[in-house]
């Protein structure tokens, strides 16, 4: 059992996966809410997804500046950063 496994409750895994797929949700937002580093999120995604889905997700997120809060600030995004997908409650 890895360090990330002990931090995350089973019911939170689906929410983390949804947030990781969301383009506008940064890894920093996931870390703030769940305490997982980007490396731990990648490990969780690799463990929970089919290999083809994981490869598609990694290709999509690598180099995507919206997944990194510091790069978003550099580009001066307008509006408020979201911590969840718009279809999630709360």
The residues, any chain, with a CB within 8 Å of residue 84's CB and separated by 6 or more, are 15, 18, 19, 22, 25, 90
Token pair for 89: 């409650």
**pLDDT for the residue 51:** 95
pTM (2 decimals)? 0.66
pLDDT surpassing 70 at residue 68: no
Check whether 73 has a pLDDT greater than 50.
yes
Q: For the segment 10-53, what is each residue's pLDDT rounded down to a tens digit?
A: 889 999 999 998 877 888 889 999 999 989 999 999 999 999 99
């Amino acid at each position: 059992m890895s360090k990330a496994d002990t931090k995350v409750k089973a019911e939170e895994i689906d929410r983390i996966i949804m947030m990781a797929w969301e383009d506008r949700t940064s890894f920093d937002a996931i870390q703030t809410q769940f305490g997982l580093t980007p490396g731990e999120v990648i490990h969780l995604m690799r463990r929970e997804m089919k290999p083809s889905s994981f490869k598609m997700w990694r290709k999509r997120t690598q180099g995507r500046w919206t997944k990194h809060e510091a790069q978003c600030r550099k580009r001066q995004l307008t509006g408020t950063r979201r911590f969840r997908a718009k279809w999630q409650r709360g």
